Amino acid sequence: MDIERAKILRPVAEPRIVERIYSDDQHARLLGVVKQNGPWPLILAHHFKNAEELIATTSGMIPEGVEPKLEMFLSPVFRGFLSYDKVCLYPEIQDCFYAPRMLDLVRAYWGAKYAEPDGMLFNIQGPCAGGGSPHVDATRFRGITLENTPVWLMNTMVKTGLFERWQARKAQVIAWYYKGRIGGGFTYWPDGPHERPKQLRAPMWGRAAVVENEMMFHTAEPCGPADQRMPAGLGFDSLMGPDPERDGAWQITTRGEVIQRIPEEEFRFLVHWGASVYRDLDELKTAIDHTDDLSHDRIFEILLADLATRGVPCETPSDPMNDRRFIALLNDVYGIDRPLHFPPEPEERLAG
C-alpha cells in the first residue's frame, strides 16, 4: 500500500462518541415510523433496478472462472429513508431531523460556524456477516453531484486529494440500537486504511458516533449467530418488517413467504443523520451562490496537470469520461486499497 496516498483518507477529526443521542421517546417514535411504514427493501435494491444489473455492475470483482451468483452480492440489511434530501418525510420525527443538538455536534466536530441537516435514513437487520466490505461513502463537490457525474469519478477525485477545496464538508451522526450477544459494533479506520482500525462495541442502545464517513473507511461488524447470517431464500426483492405474530420481533419475506424470523434481541437498528457543514460565511455563500463551482473540463485539466507533474505519460483523451484506458490509468495512479488490518471475528459475549 502507498502509505502517503493512504493518508488522504482520514476524517477531519477523530470520531466523537455520544451516549443516548435520542431520548427514549424519540427512539420509540423513530422505531414506530419503521414499524408502521414497512416492509423495507434491501440496501442494494435502492441502488440497482434488478438482480441482473447488480451482477453486471459488480461481477468484475469476483475471480475469473467463478460464476457470479446473486447470493454473493446480497447482504440481509434493509433500508428506508426518513427524509427526501433536506425535507423530513415523517412529521412525528421532525424533532429528530431538525435537531439543534445534532447541529451543535457537527459544527463542533468541524470547528465550523454553520450546518444544515441534509439527509436521514435507517438500516435494519438481523444476523449478518456484513464485516467484509469497508468503504467510504460517496460525496459531492461544488458543481459536481450524482445528477451530473458518475460515482467512479467523484470517488477518484476524493482519492487524488486535489479537489479538497470544492469537496462538500459533511458530517454524520450515526446511532445504533443492538442488544445481541455477538458482534454488531462499528469498525472504522480513523487514522487511514494503512493503520489499525478502531471499534465501537455493542451492545449499544443509543450510542452514536459523529463522523465524516466520506473520508474514513468504515463497516459494520458481523453480528448474530454465524449460521443465521445468510437466510436461505434471500432475494433481490426480499423485504423486512415487523413479525405480525410476535411483538418486537421482525421477519424477512421473499415474495410473500417468510424466510427468517428475527427475535427482538437479534434486531439491529441504525439511524443515520447527515449534515452539510460550512466553516464560515464565505464558504456558505460560495456554495449557495455557485461562485466557485467545478466543471468537468476543469476536473480533467487538474488531473492531466497532476499526471504531468508526476511524470506519468498520458495523451489527452478526447472523451475522458468514457475512455477505459484513461480510467484505468487514474485507478493505477490514485487508487487507494482497502484497509490493511481487520479486527478479529466477534465472539459471543457472556451474559450478565
Residues within the interface to Fe ion (CB under 5 A):
137
> Which residue lies nearer to Fe ion by CB, 137 or 293?
137
Nearest CA to 276 out of 180, 164, 184, 171 is that of 171
| DSSP code string of 231-272 | -TT--TT-EEEE-TTSTT-EEEEETTEEEEEE-GGG-EEEEE
Among residues 251, 242, 273, the alpha carbon closest in space to that of 36 is found at 242
Q: Which is nearer to Fe ion, 137 or 191 (CB)?
A: 137
Residue 220 CB, shortest distance to Fe ion, in Å, is 9
CB 117 within 8 A of CB 86: yes
Residue count of the chain: 352
| Cβ closest to Fe ion, residue 118 vs residue 243 | 118
- Residue 100: HSE in the Cβ half-sphere, 13 Å Cα cutoff: 0
Nearer to Fe ion, 137 or 195 (CB): 137
- Report in angstroms how near the CB of residue 121 gets to Fe ion at its nearest: 11
Question: Which of 137, 306 has the CB closer to Fe ion?
Answer: 137
Shortest separation between residue 217's beta carbon and Fe ion, angstroms: 9
| Cα diameter, the chain | 66
Residue position matching grid coordinates 450477544: 181
How far apart are CB 135 and Fe ion at their closest, in Å?
Answer: 6
The distance of closest approach from Cβ of residue 86 to Fe ion in the complex, given in angstroms and rounded to an integer, is: 20
CB nearer to Fe ion: give 137 or 283: 137
The residue among 137 and 243 lying less far from Fe ion, judged by its C-beta, is 137
Distance in Å, CB of 244 to Fe ion, minimum: 31
**CA 177, CA 7: separation in Å to the nearest integer?**
31
Return the residue matching grid coordinates 439511524.
271
The residue number with the shortest CB distance to Fe ion is 137
Write down the least CB distance from residue 137 to Fe ion, Å. Answer: 4
CB of 143 to Fe ion, least distance (A): 24
Cell numbers for 243, please give them.
413479525
φ and ψ of 219, to 5 deg: -165, 160
As a whole number of Å, the CA-based R_g of the chain is 21
Closest CB 45 distance from Fe ion, rounded Å: 17
Please say which residue, 123 or 238, places its beta carbon nearer to Fe ion: 123
Q: How far apart are the first and last CA of the chain?
A: 42
Peptide bond into 203 cis (omega under 30): yes
Helix H segments across the chain?
A: 3-6, 24-37, 43-47, 51-58, 94-97, 100-110, 151-160, 281-288, 296-309, 324-334
Neighbours of 258 (CB within 10 A): 14
Of the two residues 14 and 137, which places its CB atom closer to Fe ion in the complex? 137
Helix (H, G, I), strand (E, B) or coil at 167: strand
